[in-house]
Chains A and B, each alone.
Chain A
Amino acid sequence: QKEVEQNSGPLSVPEGAIASLNCTYSDRGSQSFFWYRQYSGKSPELIMSIYSNGDKEDGRFTAQLNKASQYVSLLIRDSQPSDSATYLCAVNQNTGNQFYFGTGTSLTVIP
């Protein structure tokens, strides 16, 4: 079983819609959770970090964490064509420096 799992997609949404990206993780000791965006041919860049159960909002982005279900999600409201990218979920246990990444979900926002 992989440490971090994501649907690879592709996920397509129309412009202005809500995109929902999901991630599950296997280690209950995980404490820190991150969403990165990666454009084709570029390096990952951080969008959101979340450490506590519940929702965390930053502009059009909302991260949701449910540790009991070992589930973290990212919602993108009012999706724009510029949001088209691969979104990577990353998890860290806080007991060491190893981060585990999912394989990423490819998102396409259709104008």
Chain B
Amino acid sequence: NAGVTQTPKFQVLKTGQSMTLQCAQDMNHNSMYWYRQDPGMGLRLIYYSASEGTTDKGEVPNGYNVSRLNKREFSLRLESAAPSQTSVYFCASSEALAGGGDTQYFGPGTRLTVL
């Protein structure tokens, strides 16, 4: 099992460019999450998907869109990148349906720099 995989590992964008971060899990988990991690800010939830076909906003959704393509895949799109979106992005998954309370497993992260 690969667990949670993310692509790309590193990315440099110019302001205004767009890109999609890809995430896939092979653990048959129902819930998937996108976080960003900034120095001194901890992990902050951008969007999550409790089950296939549903998505919900987290703490910091502005400037991002997501797609739960199927049960395995959950992508994060930056339509017009801004320097404030420079961060490390983590995808995570957990078995739980709505109700939460379950362990999250994290991918290796994508380090994004917006110039």
Contacts and interface: CB of A to CB of B under 8 A. Distances in A.
Label chain B's interface by main secondary structure: loop
**Interface residues on chain B, size class:** 20 to 34
Nearest to B97: A97
Nearest to B57: A98
A43 B48 contact: no
Contacts of A43: 90, 106-109
Interface in A63-111: 88, 90, 92-104
Contacts of A93: 100
B25 interface: no
A101 B42 contact: yes
A31 interface: yes
Interface of A: 4, 8, 31-32, 34, 42-46, 49, 51, 88, 90, 92-104
